[in-house]
């Protein structure tokens, strides 16, 4: 999730290096936000995407069509295809946008869309666009593109100084992810924009889950984008970024060309063309599950003031997904339940609900500090009857084809890579990090979105997601906990002496996998610090 670099935030919080300590808030004061009038509203009228979406939705009154996208490469292909198909509008809202292979390819596709007259709006959290100030400024100079930065840093480099002088404001971020084209088709889920989310990098690969949606919920996402776009925390880029022009735009085009000519990037782009998803989209045969879908999100004002629980995404999620009666599954790469979440899950388990959680183990997490927030709650959850599974950065086993299919539905199947013998190694080192955020209740209701089960998603960051009322989809995700998860992760249990134990298909361990002595001391120390609210 690459939040506000959690080790950094925690250390700043511990040492009290905030704005009040230095009295430097005035030096970091933002300019007064002005309404934007740089680009004109697009001409009204039907587009190919809106026509197809309307025709398909008309056969399912009141329902939305949803298609789960667990595969990393499919997830990128879907976005690229939508940009290329855009005729009227492209509205993109993201927490992180990297300037790597996939990030650059998408920006160039967006630029090409603007060249043919599509109105493009980019709403990006300012904490997740490292190194892109010049590129974004150049795009913003285009007559059909506008960039806004959410909760921006006034000091551009190094940005970390901003935390020192204005920690209270900058510690709250926009964690939403949405990708909407022509107001008709949207992609919502856990993925940011970057190689690690799309299977295009040489390093870690994040397992994640997105939803492509059409119908009423797509229009709700578009309306929610508008709410954030016009909020007091969304600043026109021209007020924050340097003013650049044609030379930088030419550099952007050249940069994308270099990416496409790079051998590894070329193989990736070639791979996109052969995907079944591409053909399905081109032919209009992409399958959708038609169901009632409720979009829930935080008020953008959450970054400037505290909001009542019932008005937070978490409060809305409680109401939308309801209290489970039989079973509940949670997939959360950054699982920090805290007192409130632990009590809630323990109560469910004691009342007879089968509660199962999958999260990253220490060796698989990309944010070590999160483990310090999670580890202290394990015993209390286990004593109440909650089942815990943790991924690990090592080969777990050889899942069957059925298990691989069910793993894909869960959002971890993209971690499986074929070996020379045609078998599959699960959750390999460097490809073991869960980034998906899903919840199922009673095999009837499914949540997919950006919300992590942690205090930061609860109180600090804004979030967005779908609650899908579909027994078919919820059941598919829940089934994975009976098949692929036991093979792909350790189950954490308590022995007769109330000590933690880790068990997988291949081994059993009395010590936490991947946690060395130094790591153990560090995590133990961090878990005792009063920083859980930052995690």
Q: Is residue 129 part of a domain?
A: yes
In a domain, 11, yes or no: yes
- pLDDT higher at 377 or 428: 377
**Residues β-bridged to residue 124:** 94, 149
- Cα 467 to the chain's mean position, in Å? 15
**pLDDT score for 256:** 57
Determine contact, residues 465/393, Cβ cutoff 8 Å: no
Is 435 marked active-site? yes
Asked if residue 326 and residue 453 are part of one domain, the reply reads yes
Q: Give the model's pLDDT for residue 14.
A: 43
User: Is 355 in the same domain as 468?
Assistant: yes
- Whether 182 sits among the annotated catalytic residues: the reply is yes
Tens of pLDDT, residue by residue over 374-392, are: 999 999 999 999 999 998 8
- Domain-located, residue 46: no
Lowest mean pLDDT among 21-30, 387-396, 464-473, 508-517: 21-30
Choice among 182, 366, 454, 487 that is catalytic = 182
pLDDT above 80 for 27: no
Give the active site residue among 111, 142, 302, 437: 437
Same domain, 278 and 302: no
3-state secondary structure of 100: coil
Please report the pLDDT score of residue 365 as a whole number: 81
Catalytic residue among 166, 298, 366, 442: 442
Would you place residue 284 in the very low, low, confident or very high pLDDT band (cuts 50, 70, 90)? Answer: confident
User: Using CA atoms, how far apart are residues 115 and 405, in angstroms rounded to an integer?
Assistant: 40
pLDDT band of residue 411 (cuts 50, 70, 90) is: very low
Domain boundary among 257, 283, 309: 283
67 is catalytic: no
Q: What is the structure's pLDDT at 275? A: 82
C-alpha 95/C-alpha 130 separation (Å) is 11
Last residue of a domain, one of 251, 283, 315: 283
Are residues 217 and 340 located together in one domain of the fold?
A: no
Helical (H) or strand (E) element with 489: none
User: 483 pLDDT band (50/70/90 cuts)?
Assistant: confident
418 pLDDT tier (thresholds 50, 70, 90): very low
Residues 63 and 87 in one domain: yes
**177 assigned to active site:** yes
Q: What are the tokens at 375?
A: 């580890």
First to last CA, the chain: 11
The number of domains in the chain is: 2
What pLDDT, on the 0 to 100 scale, is given for residue 531? Answer: 66
State mean pLDDT over 27-52.
69
Question: Over pLDDT 70: what percentage of the chain?
Answer: 79
In a domain, 21, yes or no: yes
Cβ–Cβ under 8 Å, residues 36 and 236 = yes
Closest Cα to residue 390, out of 520, 504, 506?
504
Catalytic annotation, pick one of 67, 111, 142, 175 = 175
324 shares a domain with 277: no
Active-site annotation holds for 371: no
User: Is 124 inside a domain boundary?
Assistant: yes
Inform me whether the pLDDT recorded for 45 exceeds 80: no
Nearest CA-CA partner of 433 in 371, 369, 487, 360 = 360
Domain with 106, as residue range(s), is 6-29+53-283
Which stretch of 153-162, 277-286, 357-366, 379-388 has the lowest confidence by average pLDDT? 277-286
Q: What is the pLDDT of residue 21?
A: 37
Higher pLDDT, residue 91 or 20: 91
Structural element, H or E, at residue 129: none
335 with 478, same domain? yes
* CATH code, 20: 3.30.870.10
- Do residue 162 and residue 274 come from a single domain? yes
Is the pLDDT at 404 greater than 70? The verdict is no
Same domain, residue pair 274 and 317: no
Per-residue pLDDT at 331 exceeds 90: yes
The pLDDT of residue 18 = 40
In the set 67, 98, 142, 177, the catalytic residue is: 177
Lowest pLDDT segment from 105-119, 189-203, 223-237, 260-274 = 260-274
Is 414 contained in some domain?
yes
Name the one residue in this structure whose structure tokens are 């995690």. 535
Report which of residues 262 and 66 the model is more confident about. Answer: 66
472, HSE (Cβ side, Cα atoms, 13 Å): 8
Which two tokens mark 170? Answer: 């900058």
Closest CA to 479 of 401, 389, 403: 403
d(CA 395, CA 471) in angstroms, rounded, equals: 32
Same domain, residue pair 134 and 160: yes
Identify the top-confidence range among 40-49, 482-491, 525-534: 482-491
Of 233, 255, 283, which closes a domain?
A: 283
Cα dist from 496 to 357, 382, 387, 500, whole Å: 22, 13, 16, 10
Q: Which of 435, 454, 479, 487 is catalytic?
A: 435
* Mean of per-residue pLDDT scores for the chain: 83
| pLDDT confidence of residue 454 | 93
Residues 366 and 221 in one domain: no
For the ranges 193-197, 304-308, 407-411, the lowest mean pLDDT is seen at 407-411
Exposed e or buried b for every residue in 19-45, given b needs 16+ CB within 10 A? beeeebeeebeeeeeeebeebeebeee
253 and 398 housed in the same domain: no
The mean pLDDT of 256-268, rounded to a whole number, is 70
């Amino acid at each position: 999730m690459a939040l506000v670099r959690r080790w950094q935030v925690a250390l700043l919080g511990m040492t009290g290096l905030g704005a009040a300590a230095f009295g430097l808030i005035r030096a970091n004061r933002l300019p007064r936000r002005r309404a934007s009038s740089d680009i004109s509203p697009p001409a009204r009228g039907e587009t190919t995407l809106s026509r197809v979406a309307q025709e398909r939705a008309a056969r399912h009154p009141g329902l939305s069509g949803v298609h789960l996208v667990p595969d990393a490469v499919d997830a990128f292909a879907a976005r690229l295809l939508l940009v290329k198909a855009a005729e009227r509008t492209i509205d993109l809202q993201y927490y992180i946008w990297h300037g790597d292979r996939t990030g650059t390819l998408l920006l160039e596709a967006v630029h090409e869309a603007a060249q043919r007259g599509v109105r493009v709006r980019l709403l990006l959290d300012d904490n997740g666009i490292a190194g892109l100030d010049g590129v974004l400024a150049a795009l913003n100079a285009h007559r059909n593109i506008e960039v806004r930065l959410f909760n921006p840093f006034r000091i551009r480099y190094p940005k970390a100084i901003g935390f020192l002088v204005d920690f209270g404001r900058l510690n709250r971020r926009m964690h939403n992810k949405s990708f909407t084209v022509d107001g008709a088709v949207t992609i919502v889920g856990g993925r940011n924009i970057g190689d690690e989310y799309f299977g295009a990098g040489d390093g870690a690969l994040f397992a994640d889950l997105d939803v492509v949606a059409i119908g009423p919920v797509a229009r709700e996402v578009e309306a929610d984008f508008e709410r954030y776009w016009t909020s007091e925390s969304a600043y026109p880029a021209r007020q924050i970024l340097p003013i650049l022009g044609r030379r930088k735009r030419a550099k952007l085009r050249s940069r994308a060309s270099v990416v496409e000519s790079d051998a590894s990037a070329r193989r990736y782009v070639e791979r996109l063309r052969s995907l079944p998803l591409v053909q399905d989209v081109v032919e209009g045969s992409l399958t959708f599950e038609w169901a009632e879908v409720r979009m829930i999100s935080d008020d953008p004002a959450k970054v400037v003031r505290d909001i009542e629980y019932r008005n937070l995404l978490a409060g809305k999620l409680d109401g939308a997904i309801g209290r489970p009666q039989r079973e509940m599954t949670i997939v959360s790469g950054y699982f920090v339940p805290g007192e409130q979440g632990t009590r809630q899950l323990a109560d469910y388990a004691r009342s007879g609900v089968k509660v199962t959680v999958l999260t990253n183990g220490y060796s698989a997490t990309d944010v070590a500090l999160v483990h310090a927030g999670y580890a202290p709650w394990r015993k209390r959850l286990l004593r109440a009857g909650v089942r815990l599974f943790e991924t690990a950065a090592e080969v777990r086993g050889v899942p069957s084809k059925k298990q691989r299919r069910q793993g894909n539905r869960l959002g971890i199947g993209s971690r499986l890579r074929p070996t020379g013998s045609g078998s599959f190694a699960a959750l390999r080192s460097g490809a073991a990090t869960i980034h998906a955020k899903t919840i199922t209740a009673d095999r009837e209701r499914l949540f997919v979105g950006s919300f992590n089960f942690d205090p930061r998603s609860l109180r600090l960051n804004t979030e967005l997601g779908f609650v899908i009322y579909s027994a078919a989809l919820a059941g598919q995700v829940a089934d994975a906990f009976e098949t692929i998860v036991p093979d792909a992760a350790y189950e954490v249990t308590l022995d007769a002496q109330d000590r933690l134990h880790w068990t997988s298909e291949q081994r059993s361990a009395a010590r936490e996998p991947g946690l060395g002595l130094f790591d153990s001391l560090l995590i133990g120390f961090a878990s005792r610090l009063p920083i859980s609210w930052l995690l």
